[in-house]
Amino acid sequence: MLKRSWIESANDAEGDFPLNNLPYGVFSTAEAGPRCGVAVGDMILDLARAEKAGLTGTHGLLQAPAWNSFMAEGPQAWEALRTRLTELLAEGAEQRAAVEPLLVAMSGARMHLPIEVAEYTDFYASRQHATNVGTMFRGAENALPPNWLHIPIGYNGRASTVVVSDTEVRRPVGQTRAKHAEMPSFGPCKRLDIELEIGAIVGTPSRMGEPVTTAQAQEMIFGYVLLNDWSARDLQAWEYQPLGPFQAKAFATSISPWIVTRAALAPFAVPEPEREVPLLPYLRTDFPGNYDVDLSVEMNGHTVSRTNMQRLYYSAAQQLAHHASSGCAMRTGDLLGSGTISGDTPDACGSLLEMTWGGQTPLDLGGESRTFIQDGDILTLKGHAQGDGYRVGFGACTGRILPAPDFP
Amino acid sequence: MLKRSWIESANDAEGDFPLNNLPYGVFSTAEAGPRCGVAVGDMILDLARAEKAGLTGTHGLLQAPAWNSFMAEGPQAWEALRTRLTELLAEGAEQRAAVEPLLVAMSGARMHLPIEVAEYTDFYASRQHATNVGTMFRGAENALPPNWLHIPIGYNGRASTVVVSDTEVRRPVGQTRAKHAEMPSFGPCKRLDIELEIGAIVGTPSRMGEPVTTAQAQEMIFGYVLLNDWSARDLQAWEYQPLGPFQAKAFATSISPWIVTRAALAPFAVPEPEREVPLLPYLRTDFPGNYDVDLSVEMNGHTVSRTNMQRLYYSAAQQLAHHASSGCAMRTGDLLGSGTISGDTPDACGSLLEMTWGGQTPLDLGGESRTFIQDGDILTLKGHAQGDGYRVGFGACTGRILPAPDFP
């Protein structure tokens, strides 16, 4: 049920940011540089100033241009702040007069990366996506790798190029080899793609040499963002054997600016899909680790795909438990991409590669058609969980593609 | 020729740290916490105190427990400090009386990671290693992947578990699947291995969307360390298709504590090996980018392998230019592992996998024999460039293996 706020725009049943959500971001305005804030309706509550005014119950954790210090405090602190903010912003709140001057219109703010990304890992946890891509890259018989039903397959991505939504992205350049060609060539990517993913953000760390259970992993997760793992398919096809994707994924990864907390998503928790084969004990869960979140992809304003986070075969908690299983230390600020989320039909897939089946079936964008991305195209991911009379929304994760840079 | 120092131990023709070397590290003592220092003979010059005393020509760059701030200053600053330290420590130096009280015996110091590792990337740049491993994992016919002679193949590693030499390493646990078994199992690694590598440290950054030339890449490199990319071969074989090594490499990577600068290695520069096929223009160099550095591996005190850094088919500058080629932003503190360096014979290989040909031919360690690593074993990498009457040495990169942790 909608929790009503004295900020009227937060009571819109179609809005992304009701009081039930309270997602965390980092914003700047003409008056002051990047600092912590929380979204409520079409406003941002300036948490740096709220903390200084003694309203948040925290001390020196919300002044930095990143949520890392606060995240490192752990679940009790997360719960306390959420409770406090809910009180301050609820209809009839006693402290409205103190809070009101600390609100900033979202339309006048610029958003920044909400966290300092420690490391970025990208998983491959949607079965339909793995099957589709496997079919195209390796043939139908070898589509799903033999380990896929046992391991949440993942690889380390590049953290230095994780950028916030609205950052323009240059078309990458790189090596490709044409079919039957003897030598590769070097030039701008010709098969530039998106990947619709959810990113889980690790709040509390684990120690080197100490695996964690799925239940512990779940407690370590602070929240979620939309994530676009931009992909250069032609570079990827030529480079990825035997050590995995590298430059095909290294040029940019966009995330939405607002971290939707695990607490806000809790009412929408659902179990992972049925297992085809039993999981090894270290990956089993006794809690629902997936979420019912509707997701969509827009290309130049046209919706080209709709899917749901429930399609993930492995939850973020399972991914994280696997990530730490060898003894790998996990850090505050680690970002875990879910892998592209795809459904059963082309218009439920999370990549253009799948929607167009490798470029064979162009998309109709109201007169124009597209297979892969052209310079100037704008790609937008959206997502929300639907409650009874309210939504918990992620906002948008968007990016426009610029022409390739000059290269040596 | 040996540059003579007034520190007598620095004039030892067999020592790793003559005045010609001046490698940079981070050390602590009973008196004070981690801070910057430079190795000279068997002493460390406390650069934090030397800077405060106005001896280094730098301002506030050498106080932190990491070289990142100084590295970010770029090649002119690097050259200036090296020149200054050479003057201060040379035989007959005027300022000996001011410098002498700032020396600390190496034997009384503890070493720490010399840099804050931004991100860790591991390459695969030794042809003989790629051929050997490829033969074992994929058969002789598919040994060298088709892209290998065109691309310095690499993958992103895990930075959170890069540790300094002498840090004990827990045996990892993980998934493996026995030959012909239907289901995988989970437990301690049974084929624990090393990888003898050289790590290149990126000093100055590059910008997102802006590739760099090999000449620019060379200028960005601050220095080199020995690097042991500990590897769980049984985990790796089961997990690495299709997205590359992940938990098999994530549990630990050890580096030697002293950064041997590019300037110190300059006299030992050699060209990369002959190309079998021409490289694409963005990977070509007009400078010698490899170094003549003798390398060895010791297991429980027995030397089991000797090789040379010259075996690398791609230099660090070529790796770095490729890394930035897509538009990937490179950062101060990025660590680039060369990949295992192997020669033509088993006793010139950089991994136990190759030395024992997949565990078939045990090593003789003076009575005891080994294929892969047992709990309690100590593995040590060493390296030095041989000059005329002096050495530029890396010191040692060593680690002892502890039993596997408890796991869920």
pLDDT for residue A124 is more than 80: yes
Instruction: Classify residue B2: in a domain, yes or no.
Output: no
Flag if A160 and B328 touch (Cβ within 8 Å).
yes
Cβ-nearest to B327 among A138, A153, A251? A251
Alpha helices in A16-165, H assignment, sequence order: 47-52, 68-71, 75-89, 96-99, 127-138
The helix (H) or strand (E) run that includes residue B103 is: strand B103-105
pLDDT for residue A18 is more than 80: yes
Q: Which of B112, B129, B322, B323 is catalytic?
A: B129
Query: Looking at residue A302, what is its pLDDT?
Result: 98
Cβ-nearest to A328 among B210, B211, B250? B250
Instruction: Classify residue A1: in a domain, yes or no.
Output: no
Express each pLDDT in B286-302 by its tens digit.
999 999 999 999 999 99
Query: Looking at residue B137, what is its pLDDT?
Result: 81
Dist. CA A148–CA B321, nearest whole Å:
33
Pair (B41, B157) in one structural domain:
no
Whether the CB of B207 is below 8 Å from some CB of chain A: the reply is: no
Whether the CB of B402 is below 8 Å from some CB of chain A: the reply is: yes
Q: What is the DSSP string of B179-212?
A: TT-SS-EEEE-SSEE--EEEEEEE-S---TT---
Pair (A104, A135) in one structural domain:
no
DSSP assigned state of A367: T
For residue A129, indicate whether it is catalytic.
Answer: yes
CA nearest to A119, candidates B159, B206, B324, B334: B159
Pair (B55, B170) in one structural domain:
no
Pair (B257, B233) in one structural domain:
yes
Cβ-based contacts of B231 with chain A (< 8 Å):
none
Restricting to A residues 298-337, those with a Cβ less than 8 Å away from any Cβ of B are: 321-323, 325-331, 334
Query: Looking at residue B354, what is its pLDDT?
Result: 97
Pair (B296, B327) in one structural domain:
yes
Cβ-based contacts of B210 with chain A (< 8 Å):
405
Pair (B45, B124) in one structural domain:
no
The chain A residue lying nearest B331, using CA atoms, is A160
Dist. CA A262–CA A202, nearest whole Å:
11
pLDDT for residue B60 is more than 80: yes
Best of B326, B335, B402 to disrupt the A interface by mutation (most A CBs within 10 Å)? B326
pLDDT for residue B225 is more than 80: yes
Query: Looking at residue A407, what is its pLDDT?
Result: 78
Cβ-based contacts of B245 with chain A (< 8 Å):
243-244
Cβ-based contacts of A183 with chain B (< 8 Å):
150, 277
Binding site membership of A for Ca(2+): which residues? 122, 195, 197, 229
CA nearest to B313, candidates B137, B152, B72: B152
Q: What is the DSSP string of A92-114?
A: T-TTHHHHGGGEEEGGG-EEE-S
Answer with the one of B112, B146, B177 that is the final residue of a domain: B112
Express each pLDDT in A299-333 by its tens digit.
999 999 999 999 999 999 999 999 999 999 999 99
Flag if B161 and A329 touch (Cβ within 8 Å).
yes
Average of pLDDT values for A384-395? 98
Flag if A280 and B175 touch (Cβ within 8 Å).
yes
Cβ-based contacts of A147 with chain B (< 8 Å):
175, 177, 184, 238-239, 241
Average of pLDDT values for B81-104? 98
Instruction: Classify residue A37: in a domain, yes or no.
Output: yes
Pair (A91, A124) in one structural domain:
no
Query: Looking at residue B138, what is its pLDDT?
Result: 84
Query: Looking at residue B270, what is its pLDDT?
Result: 98
Express each pLDDT in B384-402 by its tens digit.
999 999 999 999 999 999 9
The residues, any chain, with a CB within 8 Å of residue A62's CB and separated by 6 or more, are A35, A36, A47, A48, A50, A51, A56, A70
Pair (B24, B128) in one structural domain:
no
Pair (B220, B356) in one structural domain:
yes
pLDDT for residue B17 is more than 90: yes
Length of chain B: 408
Dist. CA B355–CA A262, nearest whole Å:
49
Binding site membership of B for Ca(2+): which residues? 122, 195, 197, 229
Instruction: Classify residue A30: in a domain, yes or no.
Output: yes
Pair (A197, A250) in one structural domain:
yes
Query: Looking at residue B406, what is its pLDDT?
Result: 86
Residue A143, domain CATH:
3.90.850.10
The residue assigned the tokens 């074993």 is B377
pLDDT for residue A46 is more than 90: yes
Cβ B185 vs Cβ B178: under 8 Å: yes
Restricting to B residues 214-273, those with a Cβ less than 8 Å away from any Cβ of A are: 214, 232, 235, 238-248, 250-252
pLDDT for residue A269 is more than 90: yes
Binding site membership of A: which residues? 122, 124, 138, 195, 197, 229, 236, 240, 249, 253, 340
Express each pLDDT in B256-279 by its tens digit.
999 999 999 999 999 999 998 999
The structural domain count of chain B equals: 2
Cβ A99 vs Cβ A17: under 8 Å: no
First to last CA, chain B: 58
Query: Looking at residue A184, what is its pLDDT?
Result: 98
Answer with the one of B82, B112, B142 that is the final residue of a domain: B112
Instruction: Classify residue A151: in a domain, yes or no.
Output: yes
Query: Looking at residue B10, what is its pLDDT?
Result: 98
Answer with the one of B69, B89, B112 that is the final residue of a domain: B112
The chain B residue lying nearest A333, using CA atoms, is B160
Q: How far is CA B47 from CA B25, B63, B70, in A?
A: 10, 8, 12
Whether the CB of B277 is below 8 Å from some CB of chain A: the reply is: yes
Cβ-nearest to A408 among B154, B213, B240? B213
Instruction: Classify residue A91: in a domain, yes or no.
Output: yes
> A163: pLDDT confidence band, cut at 50, 70 and 90?
very high
The chain B residue lying nearest A152, using CA atoms, is B239
Query: Looking at residue A335, what is its pLDDT?
Result: 98
Q: Of the ranges A84-98, A129-143, B86-100, B102-116, which one carries the lowest mean pLDDT score?
A: A129-143
Whether the CB of B157 is below 8 Å from some CB of chain A: the reply is: yes
Q: How far is B136 from chain A, CA to nearest CA, in Å? A: 13
Flag if A331 and B210 touch (Cβ within 8 Å).
no
Pair (A223, A176) in one structural domain:
yes
Q: Which of A59, A112, A129, A322 is catalytic?
A: A129
Query: Looking at residue A406, what is its pLDDT?
Result: 86
Query: Looking at residue A106, what is its pLDDT?
Result: 98
Instruction: Classify residue A408: in a domain, yes or no.
Output: no
Cβ B396 vs Cβ B20: under 8 Å: no
Cβ B253 vs Cβ B161: under 8 Å: yes
Give the burial string for A199-234 (b: 16+ CB within 10 Å, else e): bbbbbbbbebbbbbbbebbbebbbbbbbbbbbbbbb
Flag if A183 and B246 touch (Cβ within 8 Å).
no
Residue A46, domain CATH:
2.30.30.230
pLDDT for residue B407 is more than 90: no
pLDDT for residue A192 is more than 90: yes
The chain A residue lying nearest B142, using CA atoms, is A242
Pair (A398, A377) in one structural domain:
yes
Best of B156, B177, B229, B282 to disrupt the A interface by mutation (most A CBs within 10 Å)? B156
**Averaged confidence pLDDT in chain A:** 97
One-letter identity of residue B289: G
Query: Looking at residue A64, what is its pLDDT?
Result: 96
| ipTM of the complex, rounded to two decimals | 0.97
Residue B337 structural domain: 120-402
CA nearest to B323, candidates B242, B217, B245: B217
Instruction: Classify residue A59: in a domain, yes or no.
Output: yes
Express each pLDDT in A49-93 by its tens digit.
999 999 999 999 999 999 999 999 999 999 999 999 999 999 999
